[in-house]
């Protein structure tokens, strides 16, 4: 047990947890915003994948990873907006819209990669940049805590700062209030003059921006390449994380942290010689188990109430 806690406090372990948690957290916050507005973003997987490719392409073209990140954010936002246009403009169901976006993104990113590099698998031929880690000057100097808090990836800090930001946005701003109202009861919101279409458009756009950031992190966070289908279901795990987080930013943070720890355990165990594939299952089984336990408890509670 003591060994376990020592392992947990190890700066290297903390760094790994944060590293694997970052894209999940960004994507899950994006899913959260869409879900609170009543249009769960199933297309997160596809938006992340698109963001990852756009980031690499723009970064390679401009030799500037920040421009790549910026383009990924814009691209993600545009895909989210496109979903909203389909859902509220053409009347497609949001689940099918998300599935279609995922299919289209997988095809389009492979296509885009091929057009840019002549290769369908990897973008190795492109000279793409890496977004930097940030050393926090004073914090880094503190013993014990310093190495835990400083020196992580810039998007890791962004993701963690996004948690209170999203929480405050939802709780304290007119936009957040409108999101909660539309997601909970669109008719009542409409009676108060709050338009569902407009709010869901903005919410999905913002959700897409988060997805773009999560995707950019995958292709420009620690590596400098894009690979076909490199999200590998992380968008779906983010979906599960959001559901586990019970619709709050802090809950989503906790769920993403649990999943990050699960993945870290999986990675650590792999290095200890346990079968790679079984460990890779962990981040997918944990959300299913937690989701089910949560649902079972809610059901039991509902029964005892009636």
We find the least distance from the C-beta atom of residue 50 to another protein, in angstroms, to be: 12
Other residues' Cβ atoms within 10 Å of the Cβ of residue 140: 14
**Looking only at residues 99 through 128 of this chain, which bind another protein when binding is defined by CB under 8 A?**
99-104, 106-108, 110-111, 114, 120
Half-sphere exposure of 125 (CA within 13 A, CB side): 10
We find the least distance from the C-beta atom of residue 59 to another protein, in angstroms, to be: 22
**Looking only at residues 165 through 224 of this chain, which bind another protein when binding is defined by CB under 8 A?**
172-174, 177-178, 180-181, 184-185, 187-189, 191-194
How far from 25 is each of 57, 259, 306, CA to CA, in Å? Answer: 24, 10, 36
Cβ closer to another protein: 15 or 179? Answer: 179
Please choose, out of 124-132, 138-146, 150-158, 227-235, the segment that lies near another protein by the rule CB under 8 A: 227-235
Spell out the residues 6+ positions from residue 171 whose beta carbon is closer than 8 angstroms to its own.
none
Cα distance between residue 245 and residue 176, in whole Å:
18
Determine the 3-state secondary structure of 153 from DSSP. Answer: strand
| Structure-token match 């769960």, residue found | 40
Asked if residues 51 and 216 have their Cβ atoms less than 8 Å apart, the reply is yes
Cα distance between residue 255 and residue 216, in whole Å:
22
We find the least distance from the C-beta atom of residue 259 to another protein, in angstroms, to be: 10
We find the least distance from the C-beta atom of residue 222 to another protein, in angstroms, to be: 22
Cβ closer to another protein: 120 or 142? Answer: 120
Cα distance between residue 283 and residue 279, in whole Å:
8
Please choose, out of 10-18, 53-61, 121-129, 238-246, the segment that lies near another protein by the rule CB under 8 A: 238-246
**Looking only at residues 51 through 90 of this chain, which bind another protein when binding is defined by CB under 8 A?**
86, 89-90
We find the least distance from the C-beta atom of residue 7 to another protein, in angstroms, to be: 24
We find the least distance from the C-beta atom of residue 232 to another protein, in angstroms, to be: 7
Cβ closer to another protein: 89 or 124? Answer: 89
We find the least distance from the C-beta atom of residue 147 to another protein, in angstroms, to be: 32
Cβ closer to another protein: 125 or 298? Answer: 298
**Looking only at residues 263 through 292 of this chain, which bind another protein when binding is defined by CB under 8 A?**
275-278, 280-281, 284-285, 287-288, 291-292
Query: Closest Cα to residue 105, out of 212, 220, 265?
Result: 212
Cα distance between residue 236 and residue 223, in whole Å:
22
Spell out the residues 6+ positions from residue 257 whose beta carbon is closer than 8 angstroms to its own.
17, 21, 25
Cβ closer to another protein: 153 or 178? Answer: 178
Asked if residues 11 and 192 have their Cβ atoms less than 8 Å apart, the reply is no
Strand partners, 153: 133
Asked if residues 17 and 187 have their Cβ atoms less than 8 Å apart, the reply is no
Point out which residues bind another protein (CB under 8 A).
42, 86, 89-93, 95-97, 99-104, 106-108, 110-111, 114, 120, 172-174, 177-178, 180-181, 184-185, 187-189, 191-194, 229, 232-233, 236-237, 239-240, 243, 275-278, 280-281, 284-285, 287-288, 291-292, 294-296, 298-299
């Amino acid at each position: 047990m003591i060994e376990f806690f020592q392992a947990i406090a190890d700066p290297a372990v903390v760094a790994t947890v944060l590293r694997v948690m970052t894209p999940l957290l960004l994507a899950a916050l994006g899913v959260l915003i869409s879900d609170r507005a009543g249009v769960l973003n199933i297309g997160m997987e596809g938006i992340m994948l698109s963001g990852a490719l756009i980031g690499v392409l723009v970064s390679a073209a401009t030799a500037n990873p920040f421009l790549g990140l910026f383009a990924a954010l814009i691209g993600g936002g545009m895909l989210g907006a496109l979903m909203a246009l389909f859902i509220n403009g053409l009347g497609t169901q949001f689940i099918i819209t998300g599935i279609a976006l995922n299919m289209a993104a997988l095809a389009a990113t492979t296509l885009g990669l091929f057009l840019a590099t002549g290769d369908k698998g990897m973008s190795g031929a492109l000279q793409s940049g890496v977004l930097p880690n940030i050393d926090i000057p004073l914090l880094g100097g503190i013993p014990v805590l310093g190495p835990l808090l400083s020196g992580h990836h810039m998007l890791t800090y962004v993701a963690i700062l996004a948690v209170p930001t999203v929480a405050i946005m939802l709780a304290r701003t007119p936009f957040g209030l409108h999101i909660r109202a539309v997601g909970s009861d669109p008719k009542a919101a409409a009676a108060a003059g709050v338009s569902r279409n407009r709010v869901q458009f903005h919410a999905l756009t913002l959700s897409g921006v988060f997805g773009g950031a999560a995707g950019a992190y995958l292709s420009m966070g620690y590596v400098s390449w894009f690979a076909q289908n490199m999200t590998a279901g992380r968008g779906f795990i983010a979906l599960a994380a959001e559901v586990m987080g019970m619709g709050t930013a802090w809950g989503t943070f906790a769920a993403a942290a649990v999943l990050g720890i699960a993945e870290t355990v999986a990675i650590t165990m792999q290095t200890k010689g346990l079968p790679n594939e079984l460990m890779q299952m962990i981040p997918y089984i944990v959300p299913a188990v937690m989701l089910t336990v949560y649902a079972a408890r809610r059901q039991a509670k509902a029964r005892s109430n009636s």
